[in-house]
Structures are given as structure tokens and as C-alpha cells.
Structure 1
């Protein structure tokens, strides 16, 4: 990124100010990136653990799979999922508070005796699937924020900070050269004046 600037002290002051802002922000951005990276890993690991639990639960119930043909799916469904938010490294992230199920009443005498246990199993599976889906989405949200932060870190570290440093160096050299030329010019004028005085006397 080419930084536009003029060769004067005002531009030098402005560039120094911009450079200092970025130098001060960089450690904070790096910490934010590291924190987000850690949270992405935690969410991914948690989603993986829930996936494993779900698969284990399904595998353990394979023997009784035939019974589920009798079950009435309308007896239970997820009514609401209660969420809250918390900030992780300045990013608002949803927090799963509670999964609320809506259960319909049924006659214990008219339906098979395993229905209440079946409802508990469906709740367990519903919790696992919903929580896993939640953590996968949380992971995606955190990863998007992490990528944006990484881009900003790279922009500061690899483009803007070197660009500002280079521009500052160029202005300083220019001002030094200008000052040296000015001093040389003053010396020449002084010598000429001294010579002129010597000849006049």
C-alpha cells in the first residue's frame, strides 16, 4: 500500500501519529486473534465431543430401533432455544442457556409402557443435536471474527507499519537534505559577503 504524503513537518507529524496508533493497537489485536483462535478450537472440540456422544447414543439404541415405529413423533418437539450473549475478545457470541421441549400428554394405559423412557431418549438426542449445531455455528462465527482480526494484524504488520516507517524515513531524509542545503547555501552567502567586504575595504 503506497502511503500518500508530502515532504513537510506536518506530514511527518501526521505519519508518526498514525504509526504510533498502529504500533499500540498491534499487541491488542494479536491478543484478540489468539483468544479467538483458542475459542474456535474449544467450540470445535466441544462440537466433536457432542457428535461422538450422539453417535454412541444411537449405536447403543440400535437393538431397540424397531420399537420406534410405534412411537408418535408429535408427542415431543423443541419449543424454544434460550440464548444469551457474552463478549469474547470484543466479539458478541451467543451462549446456549436452555433447550425447552413441548411435550403432549398421552394415556399411559393406551400407549406402550416404554413411551415415557422414549421421550427422555428423544430429549437427550434433541439436546445433543441442538447443542452440537449451536457449537458448530458458534465456531463459524468465532472463526469469521478471527479471520477478520488476522487480516487486520497482517495489514498492520506487513503493509501499513512498514509503509508508514518508510514514508517517515523518506520525509526525514528529505528534511535533513533540505536543512543541509540551506546551511550550505548560508555558508556560501556568508563567504561571498565576507569576500565582498574584504574587497571593499
Structure 2
């Protein structure tokens, strides 16, 4: 706890700080709860994207075993040429959202390659799209997780450090000022008694 001055000015400052902390804490707690909810949504979306990629890979491996044929080259048939992202504001956290994905298919001769290549191309187009979506969902989850962690740290800072420390400072200053006030009253009484005693002594000497 930082050292604070034990005076009325410091007491008023600590009371203002405590009022500010108590005003901001509920808003921070609400933000933390909302971010935790959004993080769960992002986690579910990420998991679903992973499952779609795995499911499509299984379909390709099962339905198109011809991919194992080394004589037929399907490399670089499909590639992503452009991805347009927008920014979404989620409880103060800016995360990417996909606007469009452009996929280019390299022209190929229908006569030079077997008929199943068309099916491969369709599956590959879907796969590259899913992988782009997966990357974006991963980034969204990480950004929201970071925002949740930072907000949770702030909530803990307010609730477990700043507010208790400020309340303790207010208590210490209050006790000190009360002691000072009592001491001042006692000193005033003692001074008055000394004055009265001196007056009585003077009056007794004169008589």
C-alpha cells in the first residue's frame, strides 16, 4: 500500500478515489461477463470450423481415393487470391470478420485429366475457404480471450487491491484525525486547568 498523508485533504482525496472505483467496478464486471460469453461463442465457432475441416478431409479421403495417384498432379489447382476482412466491435474488442474470399482455379484441360479431377477441384475450393475461415475464427478467439484476461485483471485490481487499500487508508486517516482531535481537546482542557490554577494561585497570593 502506498504511503498516504494523514490529513483531511488526503482523506477527501481517498474518499473521491473510492467513489470513482466503486462507480467503475460494476461496469468492468459487466464487460468481463459479456466478454466471457463472447469468448465462449468464439470458442464454439472455432471448434465447429475445425470439425468442418476434419469432416471435409475425411470425405475427400474416402470418396476420392484417386488422389493417391501420383501420375495425376492436382497441386496448385486451387488457391486463394484475395480475402476481404471487416472489423467487428465486440464489447470494445475489435475482431476480424470475413466479408469475402476469392478463390482462383487454375485452368486445366478436361480431356487431359480424368473426370474425377472436377470433384477434387470442388472439394479443394471448399477446403481452402474453410481454412481461411478457421484462421479468422482462431484470431477472433485469441483476441477476445486476451480482452477477457485484461478485463479480468482490471476487475481484480479494483476489487482486490484499489478498493480495499483505499478503504484501509480512509480508516487509518480517520483514526489518526480522531486521535488528533481528542488530543487537541485534552490539551485544551489541560491548558485551561493550568490557567485556572495559575489564576487561583495569583488570587491567593494577593489575599
Task: Output the TM-score relative to the length of structure 2.
Answer: 0.87
Q: Is the 8 A contact 2:80 2:102 kept in 1?
A: yes
- Over aligned residues, Cα RMSD in angstroms? 1.9
Distance 2:85 2:176 in 1: 59
Provide the secondary structure at the position in 2 that maps to 1:83. Answer: strand
The residue aligned with 1:150 is 152
The answer on whether the counterparts of 2:93 and 2:143 sit within 8 Å (CA) in structure 1 is no
* Contact 1:3 1:167 survives alignment (8 Å): no
Q: CA offsets per residue over residues 8-63 of structure 1, 9 Å max, x none?
A: 11111221222222111111111111111111111111111122222222222323
Instruction: Tell me how far 1:196 sits from its aligned partner.
Output: 3.8
Deviation at 1:198, TM superposition (A): 4.5
For 1:73, what is the secondary structure of its paired residue?
Answer: coil
Which runs of structure 2 are paired with 1:65-104 in the superposition (5 Å)? Answer: 65-68=64-67, 69=69, 70-104=72-106
In the alignment, which of 168, 171, 179 is matched to residue 169 of structure 1? 171
How many residues are treated as equivalent by the alignment? 200
Query: Aligned residue for 1:11?
Result: 10
Q: Deviations over 1:61-97 (max 9, x none)?
A: 3233333343533222011221111221212111122
1:92 and 1:184 map into 2 onto residues whose CA distance is 63
In structure 2, list runs of 5 or more residues that go unmatched. Answer: none
The C-alpha deviation readout for 1:140-195, integer Å capped at 9, x for no partner, is 11111111111111111111110110011000111111111112222222333344
Displacement of 1:111 in angstroms is 3.3
Q: Which runs of 5+ in 1 are unaligned?
A: none
Q: Map of 1:114-153 to 2, 5 A cutoff?
A: 114-153=116-155
